[in-house]
Structures are given as structure tokens and as C-alpha cells.
């Protein structure tokens, strides 16, 4: 990789600077563009999806309807996909004041706990950490390098998804394996941190600072799903662990399973570690149990006539319910539950099934509010407030960039601090 040199400080003083956020996944790139005002203003957002397949799609949605489009592109890998994105950036006349790029970096390892400018030293450290998360980190490193080569004067900032959980209590982050592995950085890290930080900021805004200091369970339920137990504004436990494959079942990830299964499959099916990793990350979860779809919406439509779909949905809800019970014990009680993510925000029946039977914890849903996807879906008699909050990782990345670069904007700085303190 070319050595990364720091851009000139004067660049961040550009009038109406623009911030591009990049959220790279294993087969997609999500991005958004913000004007760095106070507050931040989202100008457009887009995705490059199905990277590696013949029908990869590039979409942009803007407040200016004339800029909206969706088209098929050739994107056999992330290098080609980001090339298409950078070509579009160069050709778009409205992006001449692009000042910084904020990257969601899934794994920060034991070292990185705050958004930071990307340097050559950081890239070397992230390359060393790649075995921690081989599904995401190599592509994310590739994206930062591609942007530096094409736009060397742009500030680039890494925003770590593990940062929210960086200071987990020792008892929560220790893994019950030989101690020598802890010295290598093997511990519980937790993920979805950008989402959780945003949700905590929104909870403080909507319910007040006192509520945000209470005993809270955040449930980010989407293609990737995890829960976090938060007290006094700090993460005290989370369902994902050393990798994002742990915890509750997800769209294609297994969540927690018996580690002895690897040895069993190695003996009975000659399964390699690589094959096992592929199975638990891409062939399990909702897809593996249903054998039809990894999409919750599809499974809810199929469950009445397909027992496998019904079992996949039931297992998802059951495991999340168990996790809520465990985290309520870790918190010593419960004041608030927040549902977020594609499933958490848009699937009332899933929320209802998760909460059913948890009345002993003081959890009571109001059916009409739940069906309407209202902001507060708990009954007036519920001892626990149950909320649905739309998460926004891209906005959290943009705020993190402003913080890391020392851009002004007092209101946005306050929002960042409220979400990450």
C-alpha cells in the first residue's frame, strides 16, 4: 500500500465542507454524503449491492430527485465497486468541496477505542488485526487505500464498531479459555457499536438524560443481530463476542453454538475449519433453519404453510428473549428496551413474540402502538419503557469524523459526546 500522508490542515476550513461516509460490508458498500453544518445535513445516500455477482447494482437517493438513479454495474470485487463509486464522485459537480471520508471499521481490536485519522501506522495495525475479522477488515483496508490513491488530499477517519464496548467490565470481556490467548487480544469485543452509540444519543434526546443513565437493553435486529446491556451510559455486556458470528441467530450467522460441533463435523464429514467458518457465517441462522430464505419478511409470509420457516422465526425470537432475561439479570433490573435495525424497527410481530412471557420483568406491550411502529410501544402500566428508534450509523460516522477532525459545530459535538461518553 502507498504510504498515507496527512492532508494539509487548511483543507478542513473549506466553506461548506462535505463529509462522505462509507460502510463497507462483505458484499455491499453503503455510503452517504453530509454537509458539515450545525446540524449536519444529509444530502444523499446510496448503495452498491451484490458485489461479486453478475447483477451488482449502484443506487443513489438524493433530496434532489434529478440525482436519483439505479443501474447495473460490473463489480466483480470490492476494488471494482469502489472504482465505480470514485468515478461517480469525480464526475459529480456538487462534490468539489468533499473534505473527508469516514469509514466504518468493524474491528478495532484492543487498541482503537475512538474515531481517528487513518495513517500508514494504523493501516499496518489493521492488517495485523485482519485475522480477527477476515470477513470485513481486508475489504475495509482496501477501501481506505483506494480512496487515498485517488484522492490523496482527503482526510480519512476510521470509526470503529467495537469502540462502544471497549471498556466492558473484565468479567464480561474475558473468554473462558487459557489465559495466554488474552495476551494475543482474544476477548469479547462486541459490535454494532456505531448503532448503539447513536441509539443512546437518541434515547437521551427523546426520553431525557436520566433515562439514558438507567438500565437499558439495546436490541439491534437486522441481517446482523445483537443486543447490548447498558448502565450509566456504558456497555456492560453484549451478545456478540470475539467475532460478529456469536450471540443470537441472524440472517445467515448461527450465533452461539456448541464449540464441540467443529470437532464432530471434522470427524464425520471431514469438514475443515474454513468450511466450518463458511457454514456458521453464511449458511446458518434463519437461512440454515428455514432452508428457504435469510429474510425475516419472507419467513413471516411463509410460516403458516412452512414449518421450517415457522421454526426459524420461533428460534430467532426465543434466543433474543433469553438474552433479554440474561441481560436483565446482569443489569440488576430493567428500565428501558430499545428495538432498532431492519427487523427491530419494522416487524411488530417479532417484537410481540420476543416480549411475550416477559411480564415478570415488567414488560408489557401496547398492541396498537406496536402494530403502528410507534416510538413508544409499551403499555402505560408497563414498568419497562419499550421504544422503537430508527438507527443511523451513517450519521454517527459523520459525527465521529467531525469530532476526530476538530470541526466546530457545537450542537453536533454535544450529540457525539452524549452518545459516546
- Helix segments in 181-294, DSSP class H: 193-207, 209-212, 260-269, 273-282, 285-290
CA distances from 309 to 183, 218, 356, 367 (A): 42, 26, 20, 24
Grid coordinates given for 329? 439479570
Q: Can 161 be counted among the known catalytic residues?
A: yes
Beta bridge partners of 234: 231
Cα(62)–Cα(68) distance, rounded to whole angstroms?
6
Considering just the CA atoms, what is the radius of gyration of the chain in Å? Answer: 21
Cα(215)–Cα(340) distance, rounded to whole angstroms?
17
Closest to 28 in 3D by CA, of 101, 68, 85, 87: 85
Cα(150)–Cα(155) distance, rounded to whole angstroms?
12
Conformation bin of residue 296: beta by default, left when phi > 0, alpha when psi is -120 to 50: alpha
Residue tagged active-site, from 133, 161, 335, 392: 161
Catalytic residues: 161
Amino acid at each position: 500500500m502507498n504510504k498515507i500522508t496527512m492532508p494539509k490542515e487548511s483543507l478542513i476550513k473549506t466553506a461548506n465542507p462535505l463529509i462522505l461516509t462509507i460502510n463497507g460490508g462483505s458484499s455491499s458498500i453503503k455510503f452517504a454524503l453530509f454537509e458539515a453544518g450545525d446540524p449536519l445535513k444529509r444530502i444523499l445516500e446510496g448503495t452498491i449491492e451484490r458485489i461479486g455477482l453478475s447483477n451488482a447494482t449502484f443506487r443513489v437517493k438524493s433530496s434532489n430527485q434529478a440525482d436519483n438513479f439505479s443501474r447495473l454495474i460490473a463489480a466483480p470485487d470490492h476494488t471494482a465497486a469502489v472504482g465505480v463509486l470514485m468515478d461517480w464522485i469525480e464526475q459529480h459537480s456538487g462534490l468539489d468541496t468533499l473534505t473527508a471520508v469516514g469509514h466504518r471499521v468493524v474491528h478495532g481490536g484492543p487498541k482503537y477505542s475512538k474515531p481517528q485519522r487513518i495513517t500508514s501506522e494504523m493501516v499496518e495495525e489493521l492488517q495485523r488485526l485482519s485475522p480477527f475479522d477476515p470477513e470485513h477488515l481486508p475489504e475495509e483496508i482496501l477501501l481506505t487505500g483506494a480512496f487515498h490513491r485517488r484522492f490523496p488530499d482527503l482526510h480519512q477517519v476510521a470509526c470503529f464498531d467495537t469502540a462502544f464496548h471497549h471498556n466492558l467490565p473484565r468479567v464480561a470481556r474475558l473468554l473462558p479459555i487459557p489465559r495466554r490467548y488474552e495476551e494475543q487480544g482474544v476477548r469479547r469485543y462486541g459490535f454494532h457499536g456505531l448503532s448503539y452509540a447513536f441509539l443512546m444519543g437518541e434515547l437521551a434526546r427523546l426520553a431525557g438524560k436520566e433515562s439514558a443513565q438507567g438500565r437499558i437493553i439495546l436490541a439491534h435486529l437486522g441481517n446482523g443481530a445483537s443486543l447490548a446491556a447498558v448502565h450509566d451510559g456504558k456497555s456492560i455486556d453484549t451478545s456478540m463476542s470475539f467475532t460478529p458470528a456469536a450471540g443470537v441467530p441472524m440472517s445467515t450467522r448461527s450465533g452461539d453454538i456448541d464449540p464441540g460441533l467443529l470437532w464432530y463435523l471434522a470427524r464425520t464429514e471431514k469438514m475443515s475449519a474454513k468450511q466450518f467458518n463458511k457454514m456458521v457465517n453464511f449458511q446458518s441462522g434463519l437461512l440454515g433453519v428455514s432452508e428457504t430464505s435469510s429474510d425475516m419478511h419472507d419467513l413471516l409470509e411463509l410460516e403458516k404453510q412452512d414449518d421450517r420457516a415457522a421454526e426459524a422465526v420461533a428460534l430467532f425470537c426465543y434466543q433474543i428473549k433469553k438474552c433479554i432475561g440474561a441481560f436483565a439479570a446482569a443489569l440488576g433490573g430493567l428500565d428501558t428496551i430499545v428495538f432498532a435495525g431492519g427487523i427491530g424497527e419494522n416487524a411488530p410481530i417479532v417484537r410481540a413474540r420476543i416480549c411475550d412471557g416477559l411480564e415478570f420483568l415488567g414488560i408489557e406491550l401496547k398492541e396498537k402502538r406496536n402494530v403502528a411502529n410507534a416510538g413508544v410501544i409499551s403499555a402505560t402500566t408497563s414498568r419497562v419503557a419499550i421504544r422503537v428508534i430508527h438507527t443511523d450509523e451513517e450519521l454517527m460516522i459523520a459525527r465521529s469524523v467531525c469530532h476526530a477532525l476538530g470541526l466546530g459545530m457545537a450542537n453536533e459535538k454535544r450529540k457525539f459526546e452524549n452518545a459516546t461518553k
